[in-house]
Structure 1
Amino acid sequence: MTIQDPAINFCGTKGTLKMMEDIATAFPAVTILRHEPLAHYTHTKTGGPADYLAFPTNIQETKSLLAYAKQSDLPVTVVGNASNLIVRDGGIRGLVMILTKMNTITTDGNRVTAAAGAALIKATQVAQAHALTGVEFAAGIPGSVGGAIFMNAGAYGGEIKDVVVAAEILTPEGEIRTLDHDELDFGYRHSSIQDYHDIVLTATFDLKPGDAEAIQAQMDELNARRAAKQPLDLPSCGSVFKRPEGHYTGQLIQEAGLQGYQMGGAQVSMKHAGFIVNIDHATATDYLDLIGHIQAVIWKEDAVKLETEVRIIGEAPTK
């Protein structure tokens, strides 16, 4: 098989060549890979292959890919910057869309509108450049705008729900809608996107006029605090667990003697016990085994149920 369009790529053996030919013909301008290891894209550097991996560049391509997948009976998984994500080693069946090529950011008065695949850090930089304040807390969060809406990302006392006024979404049925703040139903690391399996397309932040130098100073301070406390030099999925009420996760793990504990190539970070880092060619299975061990120990010793903040998707590897 030969695909002439240089924008189309495919590799591997999973999935059918006929399906790959059909997708390539239907979407000649979209980069599509076959049997592509998702470890190439996750921040943990782990994860099995996607049957088909597509990189839409705009809303229409995303909508058309979703419609094609539905017609072809292909399950669809949408991924942003894959920073707070673990993909099991068996990979993901069907079509995976990574939206990072949808990354435009515009401003209108006090409002910043960003496409779902835009880096949240970049959105904070655009806000600062326009002397708009309110989103400084997110200056070091490595995820995408869409991922931040999906999980109501937050840090240093701020959350996305504090600044988002609306999000444009694509429903599983292929309808494009705009949800206001209340319809997004934000909670702790939660939004309605999780409940209804919508795809975030854009988000609009309502900010306030401020002083650009003061905004930058606050962003620099928060990023310095992050660098001092978090293992930014090693692959990780960020904060692994939600904060249990009345406790600090890192402190619980540290007091249980688990800091530095290792399973396979995954280790509880020596810098921050709330993080698991990839120190030696870890697999997703290593990560999940270590997560399960931590949960079991903390439950046994403290009767505290640790719930994962990291999103875990995909299939277990076949034995």
Structure 2
Amino acid sequence: MDIFLDEPLSKYTNTKTGGKADILAFPESVDHIQQLVQYANENQLSITVIGNASNLIVRDGGIRGLTLILTKMNKITVHENVLIAQAGASFIETTKVAQANSLSGIEFAAGIPGSIGGAVFMNAGAYGGSVQDVVVSADVLTPDDQVLHLDKQELDFGYRHCSVQENNQIVLAATFELSHGSRDKIQKEMDHLNELRAAKQPLDLPSCGSVFKRPEGYFAGKLIHDAGLQGFQIGGAQVSKKHAGFIVNVDKATATDYLNVIKHVQATVKEKFGVNLETEVRIIGDNE
């Protein structure tokens, strides 16, 4: 298990921004996680879990205590129409494994860059599908170091919500129930959705993914576009000229640049249209 001290998180976030983690660990098993949680509890350290850091902004002051990145826990297994993926598995890789086993249901996630743990935590979704449609259960670790098996009802999924958020639990693995289908048709749908994503989203630049939740009755990207904010820039962070719902790192942006752009976008949309834009992106860490 790799453990680093004072490690810059900008090396791991999709935005290429973020301050240092006091302690950064890459556990490779549930036992490793439990050992780390016990150590943190004994030393009164806070614990922060990061997935692929794709829908995340880490403030420039970094993260105190212990930070875990679970990408080395990435095993994916299939039995008939059930797929089990560890928390650190890539969601994209999981869709590929499903396709290779002629399993349909998670094609919507073919281009979602997060991890399984992060996807469950956020109830990630795209193109009409979401995690809650296909996940039947998840294994989680509680703050007092107990492993629980939660069914879908206990996970209490909602729009970009899951019960693990307020219960401070760590997702260890998720079980998906899929349906048998044609491998070629599944691949064709995945290719189609990836083509749509590439045509609309700024995949060539570092970003934190979709920044804002969809306001009821509106689309965040259209509101931002109609407010004349595409191309608006503070420091190296810019409202994408390709898709207004994204903020991209065009020139050595800091997390503070990102947060200042977010605040300006929220204030402008509120002033022009009376709509409150809530962030979808997870914002963590200390200010400078």
TM bin (shorter chain): over 0.9
Within 5 Å, give how 1:1-319 maps onto structure 2.
30-317=1-288
Alpha-carbon distance in structure 2 between the residues aligned to 1:160 and 1:139: 12
Q: Which runs of 4+ in 1 moved over 3 A?
A: none
Alpha-carbon distance in structure 2 between the residues aligned to 1:115 and 1:246: 36
Alpha-carbon distance in structure 2 between the residues aligned to 1:310 and 1:32: 26
* SS in structure 2 of the partner of residue 183 of structure 1: helix
One-letter code aligned to 2:196: R
Cα deviation for residue 241 of structure 1 reads 0.1
* SS in structure 1 of the partner of residue 153 of structure 2: coil
Q: Deviations over 1:236-275 (max 9, x none)?
A: 0000000000001111001100000000000000000000
Alpha-carbon distance in structure 1 between the residues aligned to 2:169 and 2:44: 18
One-letter code aligned to 2:167: Y
Alpha-carbon distance in structure 1 between the residues aligned to 2:266 and 2:124: 22
Gaps of 5+ in 1: 1-29
* SS in structure 1 of the partner of residue 88 of structure 2: coil
* SS in structure 2 of the partner of residue 205 of structure 1: strand
Alpha-carbon distance in structure 1 between the residues aligned to 2:216 and 2:31: 42
* SS in structure 1 of the partner of residue 98 of structure 2: helix
- Give the RMSD, CA atoms, in angstroms: 0.4
- TM (norm. structure 1) is 0.90
Q: Highest CA radius of gyration, 1 or 2?
A: 1
One-letter code aligned to 1:224: E
- TM (norm. structure 2) is 1.00
Alignment correspondent of 1:21:
none
Alpha-carbon distance in structure 1 between the residues aligned to 2:28 and 2:75: 10
* SS in structure 2 of the partner of residue 271 of structure 1: coil
Alpha-carbon distance in structure 1 between the residues aligned to 2:267 and 2:168: 30
Cα deviation for residue 195 of structure 1 reads 1.1
Alpha-carbon distance in structure 1 between the residues aligned to 2:186 and 2:84: 19
One-letter code aligned to 2:13: T
Quick one: percent identity of the two aligned structures? 63
Gaps of 5+ in 2: none
